[in-house]
Amino acid sequence: MNHEQEQQQLPRPPATTPTPTPSPAPVTSGESSSGLAVFMLFIGVFAVIAMSSTLSGSNSLAILHQVPEGHVGVYWRGGALLKTITDPGFHVKMPLITQYEPVQVTIQTDQVRDIPCGTKGGVMITFEKIEVVNRLRKDYVHETLLNYGVNYDNTWIYDKIHHEINQFCSSHTLQDVYIDVFDQIDEKMKDALQGDCTRYAPGIEIISVRVTKPTIPESIRRNFVQMEEERTKVLIAIERQRVVEKESETTKKMAISEAEKNAGVSKILMEQKLMEKESARKQQEIENRMYLAREKSLADADFYRVIKEAEANKLKLTPQFLELRFIEAIANNTKIFFGEKVPNMVFDQRLLGNYLQEFSRKLSKERNIEVA
Q: Give domain status of residue 87, yes or no.
A: yes
Confidence of residue 189 (pLDDT cuts 50, 70, 90): very high
Question: What are φ and ψ of residue 81, in 5° steps?
Answer: -75, 125
Q: How far is 97 from 337, CA to CA, in rounded Å?
A: 191
Give the chain's domain count: 4
> pLDDT tens digit string along 171-182?
999 888 888 899
Q: How large is the average pLDDT for residues 83-107?
A: 90
> pLDDT tens digit string along 20-71?
444 444 444 445 567 677 777 767 655 545 454 443 334 567 788 899 999 9
Per-residue pLDDT for 17 more than 50?
no
Q: Give domain status of residue 35, yes or no.
A: no
**One domain for residues 73 and 167:** no
**One domain for residues 332 and 358:** yes
Per-residue pLDDT, 7: 38
**One domain for residues 176 and 83:** no
Q: Give domain status of residue 36, yes or no.
A: no
Per-residue pLDDT, 308: 86
Q: Which domain holds residue 261?
A: 241-311
> Which residue, of 311, 327, 342, is where some domain finishes?
311
> Which residue, of 59, 79, 102, is where some domain finishes?
102
**One domain for residues 110 and 212:** yes
Q: Give domain status of residue 229, yes or no.
A: no
The 10 Å Cβ neighbour count of residue 133 is 15
- Flag the least confident range among 214-228, 268-282, 315-329, 356-370: 356-370
Tell me what the pLDDT averaged over the chain comes to: 79
Q: How large is the average pLDDT for residues 327-334?
A: 70
- CA dihedral of 143, 147, 149, 151, whole degrees rounded to 10: -100
Per-residue pLDDT, 217: 85
**One domain for residues 125 and 212:** yes
Q: How far is 158 from 129, CA to CA, in rounded Å?
A: 11
Q: How large is the average pLDDT for residues 306-313?
A: 83
Per-residue pLDDT for 207 more than 90?
yes
Confidence of residue 303 (pLDDT cuts 50, 70, 90): confident
Per-residue pLDDT for 152 more than 60?
yes
Q: How large is the average pLDDT for residues 219-224?
A: 81
Q: Give domain status of residue 96, yes or no.
A: yes
Q: Give domain status of residue 2, yes or no.
A: no
**One domain for residues 194 and 292:** no
**One domain for residues 98 and 121:** no
**One domain for residues 187 and 276:** no
**One domain for residues 85 and 184:** no
> Which residue, of 102, 117, 132, is where some domain finishes?
102
Is residue 120 within 8 A of residue 100, CB to CB? The reply is no
Per-residue pLDDT, 353: 60
Q: Using H for helix, E for strand and C for coil, what is the string for 204-244?
A: EEEEEEEECCCECCHHHHHHHHHHHHHHHHHHHHHHHHHHH
Q: Give domain status of residue 122, yes or no.
A: yes
Is residue 170 within 8 A of residue 120, CB to CB? The reply is yes
Q: How far is 72 from 82, CA to CA, in rounded Å?
A: 13
Q: How far is 44 from 241, CA to CA, in rounded Å?
A: 88
**One domain for residues 136 and 87:** no
In one-letter notation, the amino acid at residue 239 is E
**One domain for residues 121 and 83:** no
Alpha helix positions (H), 25-68: 29-56
Which residue would you say has higher pLDDT here, 255 or 5? 255
CATH number of the domain to which 153 belongs? 3.30.479.30
**One domain for residues 135 and 200:** yes
Q: Give domain status of residue 64, yes or no.
A: yes
Exposed e or buried b for every residue in 292-319, given b needs 16+ CB within 10 A?
Answer: eeeeeeeeeeeeeeeeeeeeeeeeeeee
pTM, rounded to two decimals: 0.50
Q: Which helix (H) or strand (E) holds 129?
A: strand 124-136
